[in-house]
Amino acid sequence: MTATSGTAGLSAEQVTSRRQRDGANVVPPARRTPPWRQLVAQLTHFFAGMLWVASFLALLAGMPSLAGAIAVIVVLNGVFAFLQEHKADRAADELNAMMPATTRVVRDGETHSIPVADLVVDDLVLVEAGDRIGADLRILEAHELTVDESMLTGESLPQSRPAGTDVFAGTFAVQGDASGQVVAIGTGTRLAGIAALTDTAERPSSPLAVQLHKLVLVVAAIAVSVGLLLSVASLAIGSGVTTALLLGVGVMVALVPEGLLPTVTLSLARGAQRMAGENALVRHLEAVETLGATTFICTDKTGTLTRNEMSVVEGWTPAGSFQASGTGYAPSGAVLAAPEVRSLLSLAAVGALGCATGRSVERKGSWVAEGDPMDAALDAFARRLEGGAPSPGAAAVRIPFTAAARCSAAVVDGTAYVMGAPEVLLDRCGLGPDTQAQSQLLEMSSRGRRVIAVTRAPVATPGLEITTEAALMTAVGGGLELLALLGIEDPPRAEVFDAVALCHRAGIRLAMLTGDSAATGAAIATEVGLLGPSGTVVEGADLPAGDHEIADLLDRVDGAVVARVTPADKLRIARALRSHGHVVAMTGDGVNDAAALREADVGVAMGRSGSDVAREAADLVLLDDSFATIPKAIQLGRGTFANIRRFLTFHLTDNVAELVPFVLWALTGSNIPLAIGVLQVLALDIGTDMLPALALGAEPANERTMNGPRRTTEVVDGRLLRRALLLLGPTEALLSMGAFLTILTMGGWQYGEEASAGLLSVASGSAFAVIAVAQMANAFACRSETHPAWLIDPRTNPFVLVAVAVEVALLVGFLGVPWLSELLGGSWPSSTGWLFCLLAAVTIPLVDALHKWGARALARD
């Protein structure tokens, strides 16, 4: 440290002057693709390319107005897609801003949690396992500190960083703790020097995007194939080149799903924003859909199922038991204990405070945990002892907690104190299974208490260098004396009971993975309803060796509890359940949980108490740390998945109605006139269909979404294709062609004759109107895959009402504005045409309702 900062850290004045001199601790963001390049990409992708080809063919065929109209549509659709992509990126930025990175510093002699951006040069920073380093630091004091520098050096193994070495911004503390002085911030950090390397990184395609791209490629291939086939057939039966080209262009335009992908992107972005409103921050848009597919949740106990508001409420010492009052981290409360018990507790408090780094502190009139919540609970307990706990001397040696050792240790005034899991420490105290200590441990655990053992031993070899728990045991000669068993209460969150019940109703299986004892975990799991009579309770060390056996053991309707679980166990469990066919959501908050979070289909990290490493590895961050947020996010994910299927059905339905007129025209050798033209197809796809499709993407998730498992994992399956392409689409085609041919026949036209221009215009306008009205009715029918349109409250999605109202206005404009109707090729429908529109408005919902009724009847059989 510099002389100006000292162990008390910088003063407020020093912080202000350094910030004015150096600015904020912010690394310039990676360069994004310029907006003009994003727009060009939207105008030149595969589907846009097909339409450009169609425009060129129309120009070759001597139809410049059609060629120009197609070009305008490509540009309009490209601009729309560009705006949706920009909106999705902006939404992602807004969501990421909801989770600012923080760090702990010492200023004016007090510890504060501040945004990383507020760090200044010479700040005294406190680092613990799981923290992301917020600036370049010179390590002043370290306890077994190891740092993951893979993002800077490519080195996969964590590196030891003793006092006097440097650690760099963007790296992660994997083990131990340390204090360090900031030597560089912002653009002066080593991270800023290599930030440009991230500019070339490309986001991989999500499974959902892959499915959709396959769909549109198949549809596009069909469009080209059918277009070419019908063009050749048209030439073979004597049609001219112009007619054949027009046919090919019409088929391609009718079948290309121009607005599909931007609609999907917007739906995912909207789903992510809705989840953020429920305290679930989605870090990757594709995780919205994956969440909806979740079938198994592996959850932590502490802070997720419970409040993470710990209090020592009871305990046992070799001199007797005690009870403690007081909740949370406030020092108010009392410890009811005999004098000899209180004497041992005072010694235990010295040891606990020497081993722990977290403290209970007063912030704005309330007491909160600073650092580890369990450490803060021990600090609050020490304060509640009559007369206060003796102030421990400075720890000459402190060994942080590790998952392998399951304990932490400190040497204070020549005495070694070891605190940790009773199963480990009682054996070292010579207290076997039949002792009273073991009996008390079981009793407290059965009441759901987290039990911590505090032990001591004199340092027999003072000169021995102590840097590890094993070296400490050598220094004390191996034997420990039990001071106390401390029973810590962490009550379940009130909202967890209903959330667990919701998971059961949705067919989602649950497992609690806890570092606590089996008895403690089972007690809490039973209390909240996660563990039933036939559920599994097992310790991590007793898990089977094979993935298949692990999955068989844990895949239970009545739930499972895995106690004393290690990060390696969590990784194995995630892999085993995925191999069993489950879509796994795994929660984690520690630095060593990152591997399991990446292995799971959906990694879930804690926003308040989780480590930076865990949040970086996660797909979903719980801003409130509550388990209840997970089923809410799953419900919204299922709703988003259902919405994608809704507007896919809507999009694909009128493709059939648009294609049939061209097929009939070609197969009859133009003896049946073309019912609708290419520009009318474009008007339907872009003008009247886009807004209802977007509105269907905004359908809110309802309670039925969580009734049983999700019925399908495929965005496009046989059921959807049958409904769109074999039922609703042909119905629309039959109605529109029925209106077209009826009006022609009523006007005196006969098969093979050439209809008058006026009669053909009215008939074409009527066919166009029937398809448009049928799609309006289809928008309401597509709101549910199981319920008739009239049973769905229109007020629950007002966007559909607005979209249909706009569609009506556009239809009136397309048919009623003279120059526009003349450009498109259809005029105002006759009374017969409007009767067919009314018939379409009634028939589509009825046919759809009969289909849904039949599907339910077959499902019951």
Q: Say which residues have a Cβ less than 8 Å from residue 847's Cβ, sequence separation at least 6.
A: 727, 728, 731
Q: Say which residues have a Cβ less than 8 Å from residue 738's Cβ, sequence separation at least 6.
A: 836
Structure tokens at 578: 């995925």
Contact assessment for residue 326 and residue 377, using Cβ atoms and an 8 Å cutoff: no
Length of the chain counted residue by residue: 861
According to DSSP, the residues that pair with 316 across neighbouring strands are: 321, 485
Q: What is the DSSP letter of 161?
A: -
According to DSSP, the residues that pair with 605 across neighbouring strands are: 588, 621
Q: Say which residues have a Cβ less than 8 Å from residue 823's Cβ, sequence separation at least 6.
A: 65, 69, 679
Give, for 18, the enclosing helix (H) or strand (E).
helix 12-22
Contact assessment for residue 337 and residue 393, using Cβ atoms and an 8 Å cutoff: no
Structure tokens at 465: 């260098």
In one-letter notation, the amino acid at residue 309 is E
Q: Say which residues have a Cβ less than 8 Å from residue 214's Cβ, sequence separation at least 6.
A: none
Q: Say which residues have a Cβ less than 8 Å from residue 376's Cβ, sequence separation at least 6.
A: 310, 329, 358, 359, 360, 361, 368, 369, 370
Give, for 190, the enclosing helix (H) or strand (E).
helix 190-194
Catalytic residue list: 300
d(CA 648, CA 214): 14
Contact assessment for residue 792 and residue 784, using Cβ atoms and an 8 Å cutoff: yes
Q: Determine how many CB atoms are found less than 10 A away from the CB of residue 96.
A: 12
- Which whole-number Å values give the CA distances from 115 to 24, 118, 172, 620, in the listed order? 10, 6, 17, 21
d(CA 112, CA 59): 70
d(CA 96, CA 552): 38
Structure tokens at 414: 């020549």
Q: What is the DSSP letter of 709?
A: S
CA-nearest of 782, 772, 770 to 848 is 782
Helix-helix angle 241-255:46-60, to 10 degrees: 160
Dump strand ranges (E) for 325-414.
335-336, 359-363, 366-370, 395-399, 407-412
Burial class (CB in 10 A: 0-12, 13-18, 19+), 474: middle
Burial class (CB in 10 A: 0-12, 13-18, 19+), 465: exposed
Q: What is the DSSP letter of 150?
A: H
Contact assessment for residue 783 and residue 789, using Cβ atoms and an 8 Å cutoff: yes
DSSP 200-221: G--PPPPHHHHHHHHHHHHHHH
**What's the gap between Cα 95 and its chain centre?**
11
Secondary structure of the chain: what % helix, strand, coil (to 5)? 50, 15, 30
Helix-helix angle 207-236:241-255, to 10 degrees: 160
Contact assessment for residue 739 and residue 767, using Cβ atoms and an 8 Å cutoff: yes
Structure tokens at 458: 């004199």
